[in-house]
Amino acid sequence: MPDTAQNKGRMLTFEILQYNPSDPQSKPHMVTYHLEETLGMTLFVALNMIREKFEPDLAFDFVCRAGICGSCGMMVNGKPLLACRTLTKNYPDGVLRLMPMPSFKLIKDLSVVTGQWMDGMSKRVESWIHSKEEVDLTKLEKRIEPEVADATFELDRCIECGICVSSCATALMRPDFVGAVGLNRVARFDVDPHDERTAEDFYELVGDDSGIFGCMTLLGCEDNCPKNLPLQEKIAYMRRKLANVKDTGGGLEIRVEG
């Protein structure tokens, strides 16, 4: 804590985009607020102060305020960040320009629809275990190598905050792009021994330009992921794997649904 002491009392400037698309009178515009910095101030603290003091209907989303739930992604001086983990002391000139994340439908001000987008992604990549094995709950669980469980966990840490999508040029050009979040999800089920899906199955889900072949490897996702997921490595791995499915051909033609 002591390292924040020198910044106490500094006057901060917040420039916040305000716009309510459901109100025909409303036009997007920036509004400026000034707040005195407090010790350890985060954007969670600052935005709530602005709502209490100046703008009671300012819309933004927080849930856990601890960097765990992924609710509060927003653009801070042009970079998508989790607002709750963003400390004002890290902005030397004291100016923070806040905008909603692009690529998601705007509700109002800083609040965007990420949940439905993520549910759509989850359904598209069938983000659940595919297994013909019936689990008998009274019996010992299936054994998993500890390292494999850890590797699955590593990719299961994604919190669906949407920061990878709002960092992604492909997502801006192709609204149907599944995003790094979707490709990471495929990689997660690929490594999980509970899931019986093959590379061919994953190819069916994401083997096109709105999926694994749409990524232009600009890797804003990797740069901005607040959970430091190995997105670059996993996208490259899945692309190589699924590209091979296409090369071998044949197998796909004879697949029968059902």
The yes or no reply on residue 116 touching another protein (CB under 8 A) is yes
Closest C-alpha to 13, from 124, 82, 72, 95: 95
Residue 180, C-beta contacts closer than 8 angstroms, at least 6 positions apart:
164, 165, 168, 215, 221, 222, 225, 231, 235
What is the DSSP secondary-structure string of 67-82?
Answer: SSS---EEEETTEEEE
Interaction between residue 22 and another protein (CB under 8 A):
yes
Q: Least distance to another protein from the beta carbon of 30, Å?
A: 19
Tokens of 107: 């509700």
Cβ-contact 206, 186 below 8 angstroms: yes
- Classified as helix, coil or strand, 244 is helix
The reply on whether position 123 binds another protein by CB under 8 A is yes
Shortest CB 251 distance to another protein, Å: 25
The single residue among 37, 61, 201, 222 that binds another protein, judged by CB under 8 A, is 61
Cβ closest to another protein, residue 22 vs residue 216:
22
Site string for another protein, 212-251 (x = CB under 8 A): ----------------------------------------
**Residue of 37, 195, 201, 222 that binds another protein (CB under 8 A):** 195
36 lies in the site for another protein, by CB under 8 A: no
Does residue number 124 form part of the binding site for another protein (CB under 8 A)?
no
Complex with another protein: residue 201 or 239, whichever CB lies closer:
201
The answer to the question of residue 20 lying near another protein (CB under 8 A) is yes
Cα–Cα separations (whole angstroms), residue 234 to 32, 34, 87, 96, 215:
41, 43, 30, 33, 12
Given candidates 15, 156, 200, 208, which one binds another protein under the rule CB under 8 A?
156
Select from 11, 140, 216, 256 the one that contacts another protein (CB under 8 A): 140
CA 62 to chain centre: 15
Where do runs of H (alpha helix) occur along the chain?
43-53, 115-124, 146-156, 163-166, 169-173, 179-191, 199-206, 220-224, 231-248
List residues near another protein by CB under 8 A: 1, 3-4, 20, 22-23, 39-40, 42, 51-52, 56-59, 61-71, 85, 87, 107-108, 111, 114-116, 118-119, 122-123, 126-129, 131, 133, 135, 137-146, 149-150, 152-153, 156-157, 159-160, 189, 192, 194-195
